């Protein structure tokens, strides 16, 4: 009886870790979870709504948007058609796109001969950030999907030219992926001594630069109007609040996947061909997302989602690492990794009192213990269990979605539905317009930093900036009001002001102008509803 049970458990473990059906079931589960979240607005997110906004802009006025690099034109083009159905249609499409990467990553791992090819796909599907990011709509997820398709073309299907064409377009999905281009083109040229990837990678940038030169009447437009500011917006107080600590770094990596640190146990000497480039990119991404905000380069703030691009690459290396552990080939590094992980988790807990990272270390210890006790499959199942625990342990560390950032949203929306009547709403709350649905016209107060970016990254000489301003006024978290237009005298006397307590608000509503000009009607701890004082 016992041996029959053991055999059944073995078969179930094999089906989960290596069966061809499991990745598709995972993808189906991801879609079901994501669609349910979209329908309930569970992970509504300001950055996620930007995916819809830019896609709608591209559909509304294609050329100015296409050659406005800030809008991530490749992503905007991908969702232009779904944007016809409004924000939730884009979020549904986003979930489907994200789910498609799950079986594809398993296919890459299988093509590379991994022992448990579903393990990378499991790490992807159950990544706390990926699970939330799909229904939230954040473009970092699209970057991950792009990375997986690239891996499939380059390492799975061995179609290098096509892989190169895609690779060249990826920086216009997420700008951090420029590092991926550098790592793989360098690897392909210098190690493999081939030119196909480089040739392909030049196609999109050259075509885009040439077409843009015709539109902008400027061959160097891509430098004059770059995708991002070179540094911080001057005077933006948000920069004062950015600091990277051990708890921030550890929790960010764990939110990408709790298995992340296991990638360091991938047996470098035994990695075949491009797998070393895969590991190099994952490490380079981790280093950059920690250092860019510290150095204040490219207007990078700090958010765990910036580390998400590493996910499929780290996941493939986790697959290799667990394989090596099970074959007792990574022993030298195991103890060092466990000690290092414990120290990092302890520092993280010391910083914020959280224990999530310590649970992750406990999971690592269990995986190593099982591997050393010669329970190879048990070690892989333990890795699977740790991945599955990730969304429960680390959901709070994703910093994506409304729960952490706007806990007051339902209260404010409920108050407005009950009390606003026909009064116009003016707000700096990005999610309010979507939360209220189509029945309320919301005027969004564009932040001075947002307006600064638009005016510095768009061409004022060929009509692009004016066109983008028209799009902005029509649709940008509501109908936009520019900072220069906001004054007590310019608002309708019955206007309702819904104001989030944001350090940037005094830049748009200077106290010298607004002190004593509003009267508070309701306070939702972090968001105030006010009206103009008589």
Partner 1 sequence: MSAASLLRRLAPPALIAAAALAAIAHPPGRHPAPPEDAPCPADATALLGGLSVGDDLGGWRVAATHAPRERALAVDVARAGVAATVEIVRRGARPGEPPRRTARYDLFYRNAPAVTCEALVPALDALARRVAAHEAGPVPDGL
Q: Of 62 and 411, which has the nearer Cβ to partner 1?
A: 411
Nearest-approach distance from CB 26 to partner 1, in angstroms: 28
Q: Of 245 and 484, which has the nearer Cβ to partner 1?
A: 245
Q: Of 77 and 368, which has the nearer Cβ to partner 1?
A: 368
- Give the length of the chain: 534
Q: Of 360 and 435, which has the nearer Cβ to partner 1?
A: 360
Q: Of 206 and 339, which has the nearer Cβ to partner 1?
A: 339
Nearest-approach distance from CB 503 to partner 1, in angstroms: 9
Asked whether the beta carbons of 268 and 279 are under 8 A apart, the reply is: yes
Q: Of 63 and 347, which has the nearer Cβ to partner 1?
A: 347
Nearest-approach distance from CB 298 to partner 1, in angstroms: 20
Q: Of 161 and 342, which has the nearer Cβ to partner 1?
A: 342
Nearest-approach distance from CB 333 to partner 1, in angstroms: 12
Q: Which two tokens stand for residue 488?
A: 């007590």
Nearest-approach distance from CB 365 to partner 1, in angstroms: 4
Strands laid side by side in the 425-427 sheet: 479-481, 442-445, 425-427, 496-500, 527-532, 518-523
Nearest-approach distance from CB 292 to partner 1, in angstroms: 18
Give dist(CA 469, CA 464) in Å, integer: 8
Residue 44 phi/psi, 5-degree rounding, is -50, 130
Residue 489 DSSP SS3: helix
Say which DSSP state 503 is in: T
Query: What are residue 522's DSSP bridge partners?
Result: 529
Nearest-approach distance from CB 374 to partner 1, in angstroms: 8
Nearest-approach distance from CB 501 to partner 1, in angstroms: 6
Question: Residues in the site for partner 1, rule: CB under 8 A?
Answer: 237, 240-243, 334-335, 338-339, 342, 345-346, 349-355, 358-359, 361-362, 364-366, 368-369, 372-373, 499, 501, 505-506, 509, 511-512, 514-520, 523, 528, 530
Cα Rg, the chain, nearest whole Å:
24
Query: What are residue 519's DSSP bridge partners?
Result: 531
What does DSSP say about strands 496-500 and 527-532: parallel, antiparallel, or unpaired? antiparallel
What does DSSP say about strands 518-523 and 496-500: parallel, antiparallel, or unpaired? unpaired
106, 113, 259, 510 from 102: Cα distances, Å:
7, 17, 16, 48
Nearest-approach distance from CB 511 to partner 1, in angstroms: 3
Q: Of 219 and 492, which has the nearer Cβ to partner 1?
A: 492
Give dist(CA 483, CA 72) in Å, integer: 24
SS (H, E, C) 132-153: HHHHHCCHHHHHHHHHHHHHHH
Q: Of 255 and 509, which has the nearer Cβ to partner 1?
A: 509
Nearest-approach distance from CB 246 to partner 1, in angstroms: 11
Q: How many CB atoms lie within 10 A of CB 474?
A: 13
User: Kind and range of the H or E element at 519?
Assistant: strand 518-523
Asked whether the beta carbons of 278 and 421 are under 8 A apart, the reply is: no
Query: What are residue 480's DSSP bridge partners?
Result: 444
Q: Of 219 and 511, which has the nearer Cβ to partner 1?
A: 511
Asked whether the beta carbons of 79 and 51 are under 8 A apart, the reply is: yes
């Amino acid at each position: 009886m016992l041996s029959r049970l053991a055999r059944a458990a073995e078969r179930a473990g094999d089906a989960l870790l290596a069966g061809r059906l499991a990745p598709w079931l995972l993808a189906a589960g991801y879609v079901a979870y994501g669609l349910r979240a979209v329908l309930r607005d569970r992970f509504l997110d300001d950055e996620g709504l930007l995916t819809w906004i830019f896609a709608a802009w591209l559909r509304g006025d294609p050329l100015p948007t296409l050659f406005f690099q800030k809008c991530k034109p490749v992503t905007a083009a991908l969702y232009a058609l779904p944007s016809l159905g409004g924000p939730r249609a884009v979020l549904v499409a986003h979930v489907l796109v994200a789910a498609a990467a799950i079986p594809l990553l398993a296919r890459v791992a299988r093509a590379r001969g991994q022992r448990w090819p579903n393990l990378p796909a499991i790490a992807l599907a159950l990544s706390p950030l990926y699970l939330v990011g799909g229904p939230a709509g954040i473009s970092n997820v699209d970057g991950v999907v792009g990375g997986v398709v690239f891996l499939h073309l380059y390492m799975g299907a061995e179609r290098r030219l096509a892989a190169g064409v895609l690779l060249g377009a990826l920086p216009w999905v997420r700008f951090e992926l420029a590092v991926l281009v550098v790592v793989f083109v360098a690897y392909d040229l210098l190690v493999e001594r081939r030119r196909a990837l480089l040739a392909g990678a030049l196609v999109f940038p050259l075509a885009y630069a040439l077409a843009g030169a015709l539109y902008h009447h400027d061959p160097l437009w891509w430098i004059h109007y770059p995708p991002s500011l070179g540094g911080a917006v001057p005077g933006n107080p948000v920069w004062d609040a950015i600091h990277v600590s051990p708890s921030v770094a550890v929790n960010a990596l764990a939110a990408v996947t709790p298995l992340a640190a296991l990638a360091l146990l991938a047996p470098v000497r035994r990695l075949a061909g491009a797998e070393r480039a895969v590991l190099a990119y994952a490490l380079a991404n981790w280093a950059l997302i920690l250092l860019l905000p510290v150095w204040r380069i490219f207007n990078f703030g700090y958010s765990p989602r910036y580390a998400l691009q590493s996910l499929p690459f780290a996941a493939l290396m986790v697959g290799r690492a667990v394989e090596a552990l099970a074959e007792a080939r990574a022993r030298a590094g195991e103890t060092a990794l466990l000690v290092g992980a414990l120290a990092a988790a302890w520092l993280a807990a010391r910083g914020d009192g959280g224990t999530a990272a310590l649970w992750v270390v406990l999971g690592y210890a269990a995986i190593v213990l099982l591997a050393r006790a010669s329970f190879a499959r048990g070690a892989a199942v333990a890795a699977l269990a740790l991945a599955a625990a990730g969304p429960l342990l680390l959901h709070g560390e994703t910093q994506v979605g409304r729960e952490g950032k706007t806990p007051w949203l339902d209260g404010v929306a409920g108050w407005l539905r009950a009390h606003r009547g026909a009064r116009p709403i003016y707000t700096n709350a990005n999610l309010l317009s979507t939360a209220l649905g189509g029945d309320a016209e919301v005027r969004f107060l564009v932040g001075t930093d947002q307006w600064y970016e638009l005016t510095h990254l768009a061409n004022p000489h060929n009509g692009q900036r004016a066109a983008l301003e028209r799009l902005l006024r029509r649709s940008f978290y509501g109908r936009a009001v520019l900072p220069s237009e906001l004054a007590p005298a310019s608002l309708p006397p019955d206007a309702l002001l819904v104001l989030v307590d944001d350090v940037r608000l005094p830049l748009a509503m200077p106290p010298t102008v607004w002190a004593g000009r509003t009267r508070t009607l309701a306070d939702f701890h972090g968001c105030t509803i006010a009206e103009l004082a008589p």
